[in-house]
Amino acid sequence: MHHLQPTHHQLVWLDAHASLPLDMHSQLLHMGWDVQAYDQVSSAAALWHGAQAVVLRLAHDVQPLLHLRRLLSEQGQSLRIICRIDPQDMALSMAAMNQGAQAVVATDDWSEATWQQALRAEPSEAPQASSPQRHVVFVDPASQKLLELARRVGAAEVTALLVGPTGAGKEVLARVLHDASPRANGPFVAINCAALPENLIEDMLFGHEKGAYTGAHKETRGLFEMAQGGTLFLDEIGDMPMGLQTKLLRVLQERELVRLGGHTPIALDVRVIAATNKDLKAAMQRHEFREDLYYRISTFRLSLLSLAQRPRDILPLANQFLIEHAPRGVAYQLTPSAQQALVAYAWPGNVRELENVIQRAVVMCADGQVAAEHCLFDDTAHLDAWTPTATPERLGEGVMSDPYTANGVSTSALMGESKAAPSGLQSAVRQSEQQVILAAIQSTPTRNDAAKKLGISPRTLRYKIAQLGLRSMMQVGV
């Protein structure tokens, strides 16, 4: 009797840190995959034309993934990409998904069920897009107008300058521009110009040749080259040093660059999107920003409002962050008191602060029902003078029907509670915060441990203890 053999497809396994275990090789073969394992991307390049999927080990950053996608794009290949990442490195896992990985598998997970899921698509079916679709929240009418405009600007491929307060979501908007452009299938590469010293930013942007400086043991492509065929997002460009502004202007004008220590020009096909929280025109008057660079990057200027100025985005964003940060398989919901607290808060830290608050709430909430006492805000001064930034008139009446909103809770009923007794709410939140802090202190050996459990710094904990009248707790040892 003849047994049917599974149809075999080609799988490229790339891991510079460890060899493919023999039993895993046998398991993949049983699942219908012929595997070729290599420790370098360049070694496997010849097999891509016959392969349907590639498994890539990431250890420190997403650069190997960007390099792989760039090479695949150059060869006109579209493979399913699965990244193997340390299960503790959630940030790298999210970055990999944002940069085009179709699946992420933990490095210690060898189960057949996991790999069946990771390779669930028919290997012969190429992914529909190499850039993942991100969920974005634009519920408030002001945000919806901005989204519509951003998509039109994205399709036009003009240079764009995004202006708005820190933490308002400029990178999210930059991704909207990228996804709406003809470059949507290309890479999206981002760098914060304020986070690194000038010499390091220059190296990261333009790359270097072998021997360009002490320690440059091999040639390295910069972010401009990694973004070939796609988009380079320069965040906080207002903090870029003047010397580097000159070099950036030259690259943008000539559409080519020369690596550090090199002499050969490299042609570029990259769209640049810049963002800042500064007044660049005022910076030009102070001779801190080049006028010619400003007009080069600001063909179209898009302004983001603070979160307090687009209140209908607050609850949808909060629900999205609950989904992102909740433990796997656990569903969290915002109770009416939590919704009321979130909408009433002034949000000086904008969307970034909202995400912090939701992350803390997930830690503090034991039963999945997030209440007001679980919402620990960054700026505690706002708890003493808590004035609603959103009113029923601003939010509008009726039930929110958007899937990211407050689980169908009536905003008129929700805001009715706030209008009835704002001082009582303030007192209740203050009392709830006292209870949460006391519980954390009593359940941990030191103030540092209590602060860690609360998701705040020891300094912030000391401030809260003093502010909330818990001075007796100051005797707890460190």
Per-residue pLDDT, 5: 40
Residue 108 has pLDDT above 90, yes or no: no
Quick one: pLDDT band at residue 51, thresholds 50, 70, 90? confident
Per-residue pLDDT, 155: 92
Average pLDDT over residues 292-312: 93
Convert 17-53 into a string of H (helix), E (strand) and C (coil).
CCCCCHHHHHHHHHCCEEEEEECCHHHHHHHHHHCCE
Per-residue pLDDT, 260: 86
Quick one: what percent of the chain has pLDDT higher than 90?
A: 26
Burial class of residue 396 in the structure, from the number of CB atoms within 10 Å of its CB (0-12 exposed, 13-18 middle, 19+ buried): middle
Tell me: the pLDDT tens digits for 23-34?
888 888 888 888
Residues 358 and 381 in one domain: yes
Residue 291 has pLDDT above 90, yes or no: yes
- Is residue 173 in a domain? yes
Residues 151 and 109 in one domain: no
CATH number at residue 320: 1.10.8.60
- Is residue 68 in a domain? yes
Residues 149 and 261 in one domain: yes
Place of tokens 């706030």: 418
Quick one: pLDDT band at residue 411, thresholds 50, 70, 90? very low
Per-residue pLDDT, 200: 78
- Is residue 266 in a domain? yes
Residue 390 has pLDDT above 50, yes or no: no
Average pLDDT over residues 339-347: 92
Residues 162 and 295 in one domain: yes
Residues 85 and 171 in one domain: no
Which carries the bigger pLDDT value, residue 431 or residue 313?
A: 313
Per-residue pLDDT, 280: 94
Residue 405 has pLDDT above 80, yes or no: no
Model pTM score: 0.55
Tell me: the pLDDT tens digits for 158-199?
899 999 998 899 999 999 999 999 998 899 998 888 877 777
DSSP class per residue in 308-362: GGSGGGHHHHHHHHHHHHSPTT---EE-HHHHHHHHHS--TTHHHHHHHHHHHHH
Per-residue pLDDT, 431: 60
- Is residue 3 in a domain? no
Per-residue pLDDT, 357: 92
DSSP class per residue in 301-312: EEEPPPGGGSGG
Which of 41-50, 88-97, 243-252 shows the lowest per-residue confidence on average (mean pLDDT)? 41-50
What's the mean pLDDT when you consider all of the chain?
76
Last residue of a domain, one of 247, 276, 305: 305
Per-residue pLDDT, 441: 78
Quick one: pLDDT band at residue 409, thresholds 50, 70, 90? very low
Quick one: pLDDT band at residue 46, thresholds 50, 70, 90? low
- Is residue 136 in a domain? no
Tell me: the pLDDT tens digits for 235-279?
999 999 888 999 999 999 999 998 888 888 999 999 999 999 999
Per-residue pLDDT, 153: 93
- Is residue 151 in a domain? yes
Both tokens assigned to 295: 């007009």
CATH number at residue 105: 3.40.50.2300
CATH number at residue 251: 3.40.50.300
Residues 171 and 294 in one domain: yes
Residue 52 has pLDDT above 90, yes or no: no
Per-residue pLDDT, 285: 94
- Is residue 124 in a domain? no
Per-residue pLDDT, 402: 35
Q: How far is CA 176 from the centre of its chain?
A: 13
Residue 393 has pLDDT above 50, yes or no: no
Kind and range of the H or E run holding 271:
strand 271-276
**Total number of domains in the chain:** 3
Burial class of residue 142 in the structure, from the number of CB atoms within 10 Å of its CB (0-12 exposed, 13-18 middle, 19+ buried): middle
Are 334 and 342 contacting, i.e. CB atoms less than 8 angstroms apart?
Answer: yes
Domain range for 36 is 9-118
Residues 267 and 386 in one domain: no
Per-residue pLDDT, 254: 92
Average pLDDT over residues 37-57: 72
Q: What is the dihedral of CA 208, 212, 216, 222, to 10 degrees?
A: -10
Which carries the bigger pLDDT value, residue 444 or residue 180?
A: 180
Average pLDDT over residues 438-454: 76
Residue 17: phi and psi, rounded to 5, are: -110, -25
Tell me: the pLDDT tens digits for 125-166?
333 333 334 456 788 889 889 988 999 999 988 899 999 998
Per-residue pLDDT, 36: 80
Per-residue pLDDT, 2: 39
Residues 59 and 145 in one domain: no
Residue 50 has pLDDT above 70, yes or no: no
- Is residue 462 in a domain? no
Are 346 and 306 contacting, i.e. CB atoms less than 8 angstroms apart?
Answer: no
Are 173 and 302 contacting, i.e. CB atoms less than 8 angstroms apart?
Answer: yes
3 state SS of 477? coil
